[in-house]
Amino acid sequence: MKSLNRLTLTACMALLPFSHTAGASTLEIQIAYLGFEADHGPVLSNILPEPADAGLRGAELGISDSNSTGRFLKHQYSLHSLSSPDSASLIAHAQTLYDQGLRLFVLKLNANQLRQIATQLPDDAVLINAGSSDNELRSNACIPGMLHTLPSRAMLTDALGQWLASRRWSRWLLLEGNQSEDKAYADSLQRSADRFGAKVIERKSWDYDTDLRRTAQKELPPFTQTREYDVVLVADERGDFGEYVPYNTWYPRPVAGTQGMSPVAWHKVVEAWGAAQLHSRFEKQADRWMNSLDYASWAGVRTFAEAVTQTRSTDPATLKAFILSPEFQLGAFKGRKLSYRPWSGQLRQPIPLVHPRALVSQSPQEGFLHPVTDLDTLGYDASESECQVQ
């Protein structure tokens, strides 16, 4: 252990970062990144589009962060990436990269694509999901061996549910869009309501087809005229109608969920615990703000790098065993060390609750206790999940 803690290098290494002169003793770590550029279809609110390269820029920052540690250890990281709107070419490229010898994959893909790649690649590939928040992947339809850095929908809605419980806003009006993701988010909110003692007084689907930019003031008040509620919760992942709900509700009540105050993996307004430095590195490189998908891909790359730093190995089995061991800890700017759930392979993490200009809170909330770690009060706990990652 002692030898692990201490590393010696020559002054010349320090002056020549990423030097190739180190020769045979340099450990080269190649990480694959595959990103699906989904077409979300036309939406009513298209004023502030999501960046097309979300995820990729996070993975790139993960590589440069890791190389800055790596140069002191003669570890050199590189990224082999492909971003595409075409599923087939992404899946084919995964095989190509595997055949070239790559074993470490960060995947910003949907659940179907993840499943296909997991089926196609041999078991020694280590796959990190940084693109799908599907609850099924963490509960009852797990992909054997897969790790997840993006929080599940259940983690997000539980984070929100705990906060609403702490505010004692227990009567929820639930509005959902017409996409399958919206239904999944709304189902997840329903689950959180049951867990934290809230009551969904009504669940309504948005199916109007008028242009809300002009008629929100007319359409939404009657749409939200129901029995009285404390808060309106919106399930509209792609941002179709949800942006128009705040200030247009029948009762003067706050709005949360996918719009209004949102539970997220990451946001510009998270600035404590050194996050300001992560933002400034990211913005220097990408010329935009870092979002949840960027964060998940960054955390994926950093997970591999942290395992390499600690084990001095590039053997995928060694790395994966270490990542899932109690010794693994990831410093990830959320105020505490992060680790992976040994059942579902989900990265445990605090969830910030944000509105566009400020951090409101961060869950888990005070008083939500757990025998192992309060982080496991968010999402599917061991007893609720059928997954066996190891």
Partner 1 sequence: MRILFIKAALVSAMLATPLAHAATAIVSNEKDDTLSFIDLETLEVTDTVSVGQRPRGIILSKDKSRLYICASDSDTVQVMDLASRTIIATLPSGEDPEQFSLHPDDRRLYIANEDDALVTVVDTVSHEVLAQIEVGVEPEGMAVSPDGRWAVNTSETTSMLHWIDTETHELVDNTLVDQRPRHVEFTRDGSMLWASSEIGGTVSIIDVASREIVKKLNFQIRGIHPDKIQPVGVKLSADGRFAFVALGPANHVAVVDASSYEVLDYLLVGRRVWHMEFTPDQKYLLTTNGVSGDVSVVDIDKMKVIKSIKVGRYPWGVVTLE
Contact residues toward partner 1 (CB under 8 A) are 2, 4-11, 14-15, 17, 65, 68-69, 72-73, 274, 277, 280-281, 309, 329-331, 335-337, 373-375
Q: Are 269 and 209 in contact (CB under 8 A)?
A: no
Closest CB 68 distance from partner 1, rounded Å: 5
Closest CB 283 distance from partner 1, rounded Å: 11
5 vs 25 by CB, closer to partner 1: 5
Closest CB 48 distance from partner 1, rounded Å: 27
Closest CB 83 distance from partner 1, rounded Å: 25
2 vs 214 by CB, closer to partner 1: 2
Closest CB 332 distance from partner 1, rounded Å: 9
220 vs 265 by CB, closer to partner 1: 265
26 vs 248 by CB, closer to partner 1: 26
Distance, CA of 177 to CA of 376 (rounded, Å): 29
Distance, CA of 127 to CA of 32 (rounded, Å): 10
Closest CB 13 distance from partner 1, rounded Å: 9
Tokens of 12: 């010349």
Closest CB 131 distance from partner 1, rounded Å: 24
Q: Are 163 and 368 in contact (CB under 8 A)?
A: no
133 vs 309 by CB, closer to partner 1: 309
Residue 231: CB partners within 8 Å, gap ≥ 6?
Answer: 164, 169, 171, 172, 173, 253, 254, 255, 256
317 vs 372 by CB, closer to partner 1: 372
Sheet of strand 199-205, all strands in order from the earlier edge strand to the far edge: 199-205, 171-176, 231-235, 255-257
238 vs 281 by CB, closer to partner 1: 281
Torsions phi, psi for 26 (to 5 deg): -75, 130
DSSP code, position 344: T
Tokens of 258: 């996918």
Surface-to-core class of residue 235, CB atoms within 10 Å of its CB (0-12 exposed, 13-18 middle, 19+ buried) = buried
Distance, CA of 363 to CA of 348 (rounded, Å): 12
Closest CB 71 distance from partner 1, rounded Å: 8
Tokens of 385: 């999940």
Specify the long-range contacts of residues 365-370, CB closer than 8 Å, at least 24 apart: 365/162, 365/163, 365/165, 365/166, 366/166, 367/166, 368/162
Say how many CA atoms lie within 13 Å of 16 toward its Cβ. Answer: 10
8 vs 180 by CB, closer to partner 1: 8
